[in-house]
Each structure stands twice: as structure tokens, then as C-alpha cells.
Amino acid sequence: MYDFTACIVTYNTPKNDLKKIIKCFQKIKLNFKLWISDNSEKDDLKSFFKEIDDNRIEYIFNNSNKGFGAGHNVVIDKLINSSEISEFHLIINADIFFEENIVEKIFEYMKRHSEIGQIGPKIRDLEGNFSYTCRLFPKPLNLVFRRFLPFKNIVYKMDYDYEMRWANFEKIMEVPILSGCFIFLRVSALKEIGGFDERYFMYMEDYDLCRRIGQKYKVVYYPEVEIFHEHGKASYKSRKMMMFHVKSAIKYFNKWGWFFDKERKIKNDETRERYFKEN
């Protein structure tokens, strides 16, 4: 049994990105298994991973691109349908970089806190700028309509609350939503709720998964460690990615509710009240 397993979904991912993240994994002192789930049109990475020659890393060619969540579900299904492969599973983007002992610290914290189903670290960009990656459950204004609002002051006020900018990000705290670029999960939680909802091709599948985990476990932001994310907010830089984001947001609200979402109101109110009571 592994201490933890991990999966990276690739789609024409630059080999330099993969080299960086693999070097990070190879410094980890825990017993792990890393799968590379490739959604690319061709299995060009097959020879690349043969050259790496690390039996802890396994390449899977999916021969199709059914989406980010579907690529991860190839591995999640293995975990769910097996009696024991690992206690924890890490879903991670290829453009992530982390120093030594980061995963070890998260692993140890999760071992001590069985009530946590998902945990996420502090995240910075490569210049060291802090990223506000904790979220309340979104309203349509936060994800869909804000794109078309011309009033920056209104957008800023919406983001201030939605991105929990009122919180102290130096403290461990329970939150509704964490970033999908680094998702450290308890496998027993996945066995209860299942994997990603494959109706989302790209974007929002992480929100959906996090929300389902939060119905049964705590979702916790853990700033005792930090990682670096290179290509964050791609949907703000590409019209194509923006359209993927909007389409997925529509699917999210069709599933969970647009303007009438009782769970959203309760969870968001509880998050604010808990924070301001403790601080």
C-alpha cells in the first residue's frame, strides 16, 4: 500500500513542465505512485517516460480527450474499485512546483485529522505573489455575469467577498472551495462520493468535487506549506478558455441552482460567521 497516489492529466503538455513536476515528486520521501493520464491525440510522451525510467511513475494513454475530470477518473476509478492502494490521493496540475517536505507535511496533518476530506496549501505564482484561491460557493454574478460588467468597483466588491479576502490567509481554516490545481484527498472520501462529474469538460469540475466532499468532510486551507502555480487563470488570457469556463459555469448552476441554492447560502453564511467569531 502506498502512502499516497497522485495523478497529472496532460494534453499536449510541454515536456519541460513535466520535467519540473517530476523532479519535485522524486524528492518526496514518502512511498508514492504517480500516474500520468494523457488526453493528447498521440502518445508522444510514452518514450519520454521510458527515458525517465522510474517505476513509481506510470504513463496512461487515453487515446481520446473527454476532459480534465474524465482523465483523472481513469485513475480515481482504480482507487475506488480497489480495497487498498493508498489512503490519500493528490490531483495536481503539471505547472505546479513545490519544495522538499511540502507533501510530507500535508500527509502528516491529514493523518492526524480524520475529519478532513480535502486539504489545500497556500499558493503563489512564480514571482512569489499570493493567490486568493479559497472561495465561497459562487453565485452566477461571480462566474458568469461578472465577465460582462463594465463597472470595476462592483466587480472588486463581489470578488472581495467571494474570494474571502476578508480572511486571514496565514491561519488554517475550513472553507467551501479550494483551488483545483492541487487537491490532496482522502481516498475514503472518494469512495463515498465518487470521482469527477464528467459533464464538465474543463473548469468547475473541481468546485463540484470539492462541494460534494464538503457535504461529508471538512475542506481545509493549510497555509503551513506553500506551492507555486505557473499558468494560473488561463481563462482570463484566452477567449477559447473563457468560453469553456462559461459553459462549465452554466452546467454547475444548472446542477446546484442558479438563484435558489439553500446549501450555498447556509455554507457561505457559516463560513463567514465561523471566521469572524474565531477572529
pLDDT one-digit tens code per residue, 88-114: 999 999 999 999 999 999 999 999 999
- Cα–Cα distance for residue pair 66/44, rounded to 1 Å: 18
Three-state secondary structure call for residue 15:
helix
C-alpha separations of 35 from 77, 92, 111 in Å: 13, 11, 23
Domains of the chain: 2-136+168-247 (3.90.550.10)
Helices (H) and strands (E) in the chain, counts: 10, 9
Decide: 276 and 270 in contact? Cβ < 8 Å. Answer: no
Which residues have CB under 8 Å from 54's CB, separation 6+? 22, 26
Report how far residue 232's alpha carbon sits from residue 236's, in angstroms, rounded to the nearest whole number.
Answer: 9
Q: Mean pLDDT over all residues of the chain?
A: 90
Predicted local confidence at residue 126, as pLDDT = 86
- Does position 120 have pLDDT exceeding 70, yes or no? yes
Digit-coded pLDDT (tens) for 21-77: 999 999 999 999 999 999 999 888 888 888 888 899 999 999 989 999 999 999 999
pLDDT the model gives residue 159: 84
Phi and psi of 135, rounded to 5°? -140, 150
Q: What distances in angstroms separate CA 269 from CA 17, 144, 211, 262, 277, one per listed residue?
A: 39, 22, 15, 11, 12
DSSP 8-state assignment for residue 170: T
Check: pTM over 0.75? Answer yes or no: yes
What pLDDT does residue 28 have? 96
Per-residue pLDDT at 16: 85
- For 197-246, how does the pLDDT look when each residue is reduced to its tens digit (9 = 90+)? 999 998 999 999 999 999 999 999 999 999 999 875 554 456 777 888 88
